[in-house]
Amino acid sequence: MRASFLPLAFVLLSPAFAAEPQIIGEKNGKDIVTVRAPEAATSKQALPFFPGISNRNAGAKNLSLLKVVIPPGGSAQAHVHKGYESAIYLLQGSVETRYGEHLEKSVVNVAGDFIYIPADVPHQPTNLSRTEPAVAIVARNDGDEQEHVILLPKK
């Protein structure tokens, strides 16, 4: 069986936003900033995501936080986060994540799991349900979360 988790990769963005998020507060490093993401964008990994905290949205320098959705039966394109770690909390669903140099390893995660992906580990999450989306919250120690996403060649 394949591994499950949302690479927040889970998640990976292609900054083509349908609607810009609403930003409340000043990105000056002194104010609290609230980000309201009205609609999903599409990540580099070809998954719907809701842009949250990042350098672009909130002025964060060393972290990003977003919600990622893997549609029923969907999968992210295989990728790595070059030089950055990821932490994921799977809110809903079951996800198999293939990982390793040749995606030869696998882990299956279920709602409620906390997932850690070390920097530079190739991975590809797949929603195991054909009827329900998988939803995850993804955190990364990178303020520009999509900038360091490297897509792997399709096989």
Phi/psi for 41 (5° steps) reads: -105, 180
Instruction: Report yes or no on 15 lying in a domain.
Output: no
The CATH number given to whatever domain includes residue 147 is: 2.60.120.10
**33 falls within a domain:** yes
Whether residue 136 lies inside any domain: the answer is: yes
Say if 5 falls within a structural domain: no
User: If 0-12 CB within 10 Å is exposed, 13-18 middle and 19+ buried, where does residue 29 land?
Assistant: exposed
Q: Domains in the chain: how many in total?
A: 1
Structural domain of 36? 22-151
Question: How do the pLDDT tens digits run along the chain, 155 residues long?
Answer: 333 333 333 333 333 334 688 999 999 989 999 999 778 888 888 888 888 999 989 999 999 999 999 999 999 999 999 999 999 999 999 999 999 999 999 999 999 999 999 999 999 999 999 999 999 999 999 988 778 888 998 86
CA 47, CA 14: separation in Å to the nearest integer?
9
> 4 in a domain, yes or no?
no
Residue 43's Cβ-side half-sphere holds a number of Cα atoms within 13 Å equal to 35
